[in-house]
Amino acid sequence: MAAQIHDHTSRNPGPSGFSDLPIHRTRSILANRPVVLMTTRHGASDNVMPIGCLHVPEGSSARISCVVAATTQTFAMLLATGQCAINVPPRSMAEVVSGIGACSGALYDKFALFGLARAEAGLVNVPVLPQCIAQLECRVSDDRAARRYGLFMLEVLRLRVQLASVTNRPGPTRPARALPVRTAPDCIAPVPPYSSSSMSQ
Query: In this predicted model, what pLDDT tens digit does every residue of 110-154 receive, in sequence order?
Result: 999 999 999 999 999 999 999 999 999 999 999 999 999 999 999
Confidence band of 196 (pLDDT split at 50, 70, 90)? very low
Residue 109 lies in a domain: yes
Closest CA to 152 of 91, 69, 58, 28: 69
Closest CA to 172 of 83, 96, 105: 96
pLDDT at 95: 94
Residue 198 lies in a domain: no
CA distances from 122 to 4, 18, 106, 163, 178 (A): 12, 12, 26, 18, 35
Residue 1 lies in a domain: no
Contact 146/80 with Cβ under 8 angstroms?
no
Residue 76 lies in a domain: yes
Residue 134 lies in a domain: yes
Query: In this predicted model, what pLDDT tens digit does every residue of 5-47 receive, in sequence order?
Result: 443 334 555 566 899 999 999 988 988 777 999 999 999 999 9
Pairwise pLDDT comparison (22 vs 59), residue with the higher score: 22
Residue 132 lies in a domain: yes
pLDDT at 109: 95
Burial 141-175, CB ≥16 within 10 A → b, else e: eeeeebeeebbbbbbbbbbbbbeebbeeeebbeee
Phi, psi (5° rounding) for residue 54?
A: -140, 140
Residues spanned by the domain of 16:
8-172
Residue 185 lies in a domain: no
Residue 193 lies in a domain: no
Q: What is the value of pTM for the model shown?
A: 0.76
Contact 161/18 with Cβ under 8 angstroms?
yes
Percentage of residues of the chain with pLDDT beyond 70: 73
pLDDT at 122: 94
Residue 59, domain CATH = 2.30.110.10
For the chain, what is the domain count? Answer: 1
